[in-house]
Structure 1
Amino acid sequence: MKRVLITGIKGFTGRYVAAELERHGWEVCGIGSHEEAGDTRYRRVDLLDTTGLRTVIAEVQPDAVVHLAAIAFVGHGDADAFYTVNLIGTRNLLAALAACGKTPECVLLASSANVYGNATEGVLGEAAPANPANDYAVSKLAMEYMARLWMDKLPIVIARPFNYTGVGQSESFLLPKIVGHFRRGEEVVELGNLDVWRDFSDVRAVAEAYRRLLETAPAGATVNVCSGRTHSLREVISMAEEICGRPISVQVNPAFVRANEVKSLCGDASRLRSIIGDWTTPPLVETLRWMLAQ
């Protein structure tokens, strides 16, 4: 049984990735920055604690790593945190892995499609120019460049997931916020710009893609994880209204309109499929139905 280390295992994505890997015969261990008693597979260690990180990794000796721990909410108020966690924290992790005495078969780093910014209209492949439009995206692109310095020592794969959602995601993200309002029977929801178009995947499909990337281990590759379809927030509202059988009133709050909002993000998953084989994510309406049924 191969052992995988998941950073950020207690987060939204981490829980699904852990369950996916366990279902397919992996022994799962995880780290995070929060205390949690009673879980023998979990160790509390901060990515900025270089000594603690090296100690844990030397103990776990992972066969593979999925690095999910990050400040992921674009609207997070502390710009410094994006860089200390997403960039410096990742560097600390790679240094600890390189020093642990056992080279993993694959180190999967979760970056973000936000690195593309507003660079290009239409479908974005991995060769599209980066044009990050906020500190979160800049921190992820900087992480990608930094990781290249370690590719001669570690078999690194960089995943660029586009937007994805599912049960358990924080309501600080737009789709869970909309779903939460419907589930609570609220009549009004305050949103920002409704005319932003996003490529949405289901978190369960993203977890599957990550597992299959670990198993194929295309070292040095940068890979989009996306549906190849876009939906506007107006369409999301309409889908939820149809599923629930009732309307909701949308009020546009100027405070929620971001100055550097990326207008449209649609990805090309051709490279992903060329590496792992056939892969699909459920239509967004099915994901919303799952979320609304909880």
Structure 2
Amino acid sequence: MTTALVTGSHGWVGSHLRRLLRSRGHHVVGAGRRPRTAADGERYLQVDLRDAEATSALVGAVRPEVVFHLAATVPQRGPEIDDLVADTVQTTYNLCRALRATAGSGPPRLVLVGSSAQYGAVPPEQNPITEQTLLRPLGAYGHAKAAAESLALAMATDGRIRVTATRPFNHIGPGADATTVAGALAVRVADVLAGRRDRLRVADLDAVRDFTDVRDVARAYVELAEADTAGGIYNVCSGSGVAVRTILETLLDLAGLDDSAVEVGDGGSGLRLQVGSAGRLAAEVGWKAEIPLRDSLRDLLAELTDGHRPQTDEEGAA
């Protein structure tokens, strides 16, 4: 049984990842800054990964064969840049350093979760984006994720740890909150259904993104960890571009509403198109996105309208 350490274990992606790891027979240890209750068959350790000594103690106590590093700060919540960099870069350095110091019979693997924000403003004609595409981060979050990835890969060059760096694109599905594109729209549709608002206001419906169900994303991370690969960089995405308008129209259809409930406002993102290629992940690991977009949105909306949502926080967001 492989011991898997999941940082940001009780965030949105981490919650799905932990369940999948348990179902595949892994021994799961979660870690995060907040006090949590461990699920059946798991352990949970409260630790601040920005603290180098605490991180070393965590890794020394758990001695994981694989670490899934999801802990992060959600950029949409407006963190100070100092905190964002510490949460992204410093935690990655501390983890890599601790793993290098505790390597036993074989080098432990670090599955590092980055973001498509590392790519930033790629010209439309260069989509779909591959792992060889030049990085053009637009903000501090994208730069910090790129710095963390480069740091981890540098610390793996002597073979004492194996680093698999992922660059996931937009997530969708159950558990999404208003910090995500689909989550924000789903919350507004649920509010209209519940009578909490008369209409939903939206903008930037023509932006095109690459959406992948969070459960497929979690499966990609596990399959990368289980695969006999040396490491490297992998996009995690569907490979299909979907306009935000399509997300809204699907949610309205699922809710039995029409566009009379919609008020389109001004504004929008400067990033008009971002679609990835998962060709390397498919060729080397055999992974592909499987859950249809409509099913992802149905599960998300049902969760909101049923009044039950899993508890998540900023840790583990992508």
Q: With structure 2 as the length reference, what TM-score do the two structures score? A: 0.86
Instruction: Give the Cα separation in 2 of the matches to 1:270 and 1:159.
Output: 13
1:133 aligns with 2:138: yes
**2:229 paired with 1:227:** no
Structural RMSD (CA): 1.7
Question: In the superposition, relative to structure 1, how do residues 160 and 56 fare at CA in structure 2: closer, same or farther (>3 Å)?
Answer: same
Question: For this pair of structures, how many residues does the alignment match?
Answer: 290
2:4 paired residue number: 4
Q: What's 2:23 paired with? A: 23
1:271 aligns with 2:280: yes
Cα deviation digits, residues 81-112 of structure 1 (max 9, x gap): 22111111111111111112435442100011
Q: CA deviation at 1:6?
A: 0.5
C-alpha separation in 2, matches of 1:56 and 1:17: 20
Q: 2:95 aligns with which of 93, 106, 112?
A: 93
Q: Which runs of 5+ in 2 are unaligned?
A: 304-318
Alpha-carbon distance in 2 for matches of 1:97, 1:238: 46
Moved more, 151-160 or 275-284: 275-284
User: Mapping of 1:141-220 within 5 angstroms?
Assistant: 141-151=146-156, 152=158, 153-184=160-191, 185=193, 186-220=197-231
Once residues 81 and 219 of structure 1 are traced to their aligned partners in structure 2, the CA distance between those partners, rounded to angstroms, is: 32
Residue number in structure 2 paired with 1:116:
119
Give the aligned partner of residue 312 of structure 2: none
Q: Which region of structure 1 is more displaced relative to structure 2, 51-60 or 175-184?
A: 175-184
Percent identity at matched positions?
29
Q: Contact between 1:191 and 1:251, CA under 8 Å: does it hold in 2? A: yes
Q: Does the CA-based 8 Å contact 1:106-1:219 persist in structure 2?
A: no
Alpha-carbon distance in structure 1 between the residues aligned to 2:240 and 2:17: 23
Deviation track 1:215-236 (CA, whole Å, cap 9, x = no partner) reads 0152331000000111121111
- How far apart, in 1, do the equivalents of 2:18 and 2:295 lie? 22
1:250 is matched with which residue: 245, 263, 288? 263
Preserved contact between residue 105 and residue 217 of structure 1 (Cα < 8 Å): no
Equivalent position of 2:36 in the other structure: 36
Map of 2:85 onto structure 1: 83
* Secondary structure at 1:149 match in 2: helix
Corresponding residue for residue 240 of structure 1: 251
Separation in 1, partners of 2:233, 2:76: 22
Deviation at 1:264, TM superposition (A): 1.1
Which structure is higher in RCO with an 8 Å CA cutoff and minimum separation 6? 2
Give, in whole Å, the separation in 1 of the partners of 2:91 and 2:53: 12
Instruction: Give me the whole-angstrom Cα distance separating, in 1, the residues matched to 2:264 and 2:83.
Output: 31
Does the aligned pair in 2 maintain the 1:133–1:262 contact within 8 Å?
Answer: no
Letter of the aligned partner of 2:9 in structure 1? Answer: I
Q: Give the gaps of 5 or more residues in structure 1.
A: none
| TM-score when normalising by structure 1 | 0.93
Find the aligned partners of 1:233 and 1:106 in 2 and give their Cα distance. 36
In structure 1, the residue corresponding to 2:121 is in which secondary structure?
Answer: coil
Alignment of 1:73 with 2:40, yes or no, is no
